[in-house]
């Protein structure tokens, strides 16, 4: 049974080597009521010609040239041409599991509007997957299995960019692809969070995520750490920060310094904590670093934690628990 058309938005640039596998996986979907809006972002290879060939033989596939430059204008170009009841995105170098669309549509049909359907993901590569990506995959899928993705939204992007689906009305309410803020997938995830769209738990792998050296998320400046930190701080201050509570920053490494610098620039006062005896008592950006036990002297504080070490994070979580503080209310891990 079909319950509406799915608009699949696909920006592409120089991925001719992978596009056939991607488009074949869409044509092999068990749910046939879909349209592909593929946008060529100024490719230098045969990507456009390849997609155009598919479009000639399958009316559900439409191909366009980017009205601007980059992924966001490409997404915007595609979306203006879409007409589906549901919206999803696909990366041009990835592969859909055959039941992905059917599974996601059915989940949205059962749960109604104001929900996000998310699938589990599996990385694949000709050279094997690094420990970092393996950890990210496990972490992401664990959150998705329980629908608890937002609980760690400030750590990393908690919704995989090529494996979500929402009702068109909800997508519009969240601003669609209109905001021009990178990383665009992380920004969209925060907007889902902001509008209160609930994550539908899922334990099934629906998407195969390809990794290789020239992948955009590895090479483009818009996916560098400074962009991730800027977007985290932007949405924290907008959605979860209580200006009537003292703000605390944990850690004085690269991320801690970046957050502190951002807060200083906006004129937001904070207490800067660390446990490094070589830094305690010293000033960075004119701010004195103090021992983390100072937290206990503050009345109802909120903490941004930028400490990356996993063992240290566990110790910090235990410390917060001992103080009776709660995640996503009293403290927020930024890494």
Determine the 3-state secondary structure of 185 from DSSP: helix
Same domain, 109 and 256: no
* Residue 123 domain flag: yes
Final residue in a domain of this structure, among 223, 238, 267: 223
pLDDT for residue 257 is more than 50: yes
Written as six digits, the tokens of 3 are 């319950």
- Residue 252 and residue 196 share a domain: no
307 shares its domain with 322: yes
Q: Which residues contact 207 (CB under 8 A, 6 or more apart)?
A: 94, 95, 96, 97, 100, 119, 120, 121, 122, 160, 162, 163
Asked whether the beta carbons of 120 and 202 are under 8 A apart, the reply is yes
Compute the distance between CA of residue 130 and CA of residue 132 in angstroms, rounded to an integer: 5
Structure tokens at 13: 């640039």
Q: Locate tokens 């979500």: which residue?
A: 164
Evaluate if residue 215 carries a pLDDT over 90: no
Provide the residue count of the chain.
335
Residue 24, in any domain of the structure: yes
- Same domain (yes/no): 234, 203: no
Instruction: Check whether residue 184 and residue 310 sit in a common domain.
Output: no
For a pLDDT cut of 70, what percent of the chain falls above it?
96
Give the per-residue pLDDT at 220: 45
Same domain, yes or no, for 117 and 252? Answer: no
Tell me how far the alpha carbon of residue 245 is from its chain's centroid. 28
At residue 199, the pLDDT reads 98
Counting the structural domains of the chain, the total is 2
Residue whose token pair is 């910090």: 316
Contact 236, 332 (CB under 8 A): yes
Q: Which of 207, 223, 239 is the last residue of a domain?
A: 223
- Judged against a pLDDT cut of 50, whether residue 280 lies above it is answered with yes
Give me the helices (H) in the chain, please.
16-27, 47-57, 71-80, 100-111, 131-146, 168-173, 184-194, 216-219, 225-235, 254-265, 310-322
Query: How far is Cα 3 from Cα 5, in angstroms, rounded to an integer?
Result: 7
Does residue 1 belong to any structural domain of this protein? Answer: no
The pLDDT assigned to 219 comes to 41
Q: Confidence band (pLDDT; 50, 70, 90) for 128?
A: confident
Q: pLDDT-based confidence at 251, cuts 50/70/90? A: very high
Residue 298 belongs to a domain with what CATH number? 3.40.50.20
Q: Which residues of 14-23 are buried (b: 16+ CB within 10 A; e: fewer)?
A: bbbebbeebb
Average confidence (pLDDT) over 163-182: 97
Q: 196 and 179 in one domain?
A: yes
Phi, psi of 34 (to 5 degrees): -140, 165
Q: By residue range, what is the domain housing residue 285?
A: 225-333
**pLDDT of 227:** 84
Mean pLDDT, rounded, of the chain: 94
Q: What is the DSSP letter of 197?
A: P
Return the CATH number at 15. Answer: 3.90.550.10
Whether the per-residue pLDDT at 244 is higher than 50: the answer is yes
Residues with Cβ within 8 Å of 110's Cβ and at least 6 positions away in sequence, in order, are none
Shared domain check, 214 and 117: yes
pLDDT tens-place string over residues 131-142: 888 999 999 999
- Token duo for residue 191: 């907007």
Same domain, 276 and 217: no
Looking at residue 2, its pLDDT comes to 64
Is the model's pLDDT at 213 over the cut of 80? no
Decide which of 167, 189, 223 is a domain's last residue.
223
Is residue 106 one of the residues assigned to a domain?
A: yes
Q: Are 194 and 231 within one domain?
A: no
What pLDDT is attached to residue 66?
A: 97
Q: What is the dihedral of CA 278, 282, 287, 289, to 10 degrees?
A: 40
In a domain, 202, yes or no: yes
Determine if the pTM surpasses 0.85: yes
Verify that 138 and 168 share a domain, yes or no.
yes
- Examine the pLDDT at 1 and tell me if it is beyond 80: no
Environment class of 322 (CB within 10 Å of its CB; exposed 0-12, middle 13-18, buried 19+): exposed
Q: Is 257 a domain residue? A: yes
pLDDT at residue 42 in the model: 97
Q: Average pLDDT in the 104-120 region? A: 98
- Residues 52, 97, single domain; the answer is yes
Find residue 148's DSSP bridge partners: none
C-alpha closest to that of 302 among 226, 234, 246: 246
Q: How far apart are CA 192 and CA 143, in angstroms?
A: 16
Lowest mean pLDDT among 3-7, 33-37, 109-113, 125-129: 125-129
The residue-averaged pLDDT of 41-57 equals 98
């Amino acid at each position: 049974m079909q319950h509406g058309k799915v608009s699949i938005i696909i920006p592409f640039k120089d991925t001719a080597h992978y596009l056939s596998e991607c488009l074949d996986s869409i044509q092999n979907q068990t749910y046939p009521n879909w349209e592909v809006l593929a946008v060529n972002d100024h490719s230098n290879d045969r990507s456009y010609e390849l997609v155009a060939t598919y479009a000639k033989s399958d009316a559900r596939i439409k191909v366009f040239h980017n009205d601007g430059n980059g992924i966001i204008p490409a997404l915007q170009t595609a979306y203006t041409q879409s007409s589906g009841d549901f919206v999803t995105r696909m990366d041009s170098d990835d592969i859909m599991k055959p039941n992905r669309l059917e599974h996601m549509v059915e989940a949205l049909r059962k749960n109604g509007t104001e929900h996000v359907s998310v699938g589990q993901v599996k990385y694949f590569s000709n050279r094997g997957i690094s420990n970092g990506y393996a950890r990210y995959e496990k972490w992401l899928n664990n959150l998705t299995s329980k629908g608890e993705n937002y609980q760690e939204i400030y750590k990393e992007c908690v919704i995989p960019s090529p494996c979500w689906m929402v009702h068109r009305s909800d997508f519009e309410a969240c601003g669609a692809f209109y905001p021009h803020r990178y990383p665009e997938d992380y920004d969209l995830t925060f907007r889902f969070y902001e509008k209160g769209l609930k994550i539908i738990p899922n334990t099934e792998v629906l998407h195969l995520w390809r990794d290789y050296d020239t992948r955009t998320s590895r090479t483009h400046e818009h996916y560098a750490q400074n962009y991730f930190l800027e977007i985290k701080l932007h949405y924290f201050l907008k959605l979860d920060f209580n200006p009537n509570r003292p703000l605390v920053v944990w850690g004085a490494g690269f991320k801690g310094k970046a957050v502190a610098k951002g807060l200083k620039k906006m004129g937001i006062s904070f207490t800067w904590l660390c446990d490094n005896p070589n830094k305690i008592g010293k000033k960075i950006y004119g701010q004195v670093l103090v021992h983390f036990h100072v937290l206990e002297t503050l009345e109802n504080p909120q903490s941004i934690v930028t400490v990356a070490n996993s063992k240290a994070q566990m110790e910090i979580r235990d410390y917060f628990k001992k103080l009776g503080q709660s995640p996503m209310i009293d403290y927020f891990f930024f890494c």
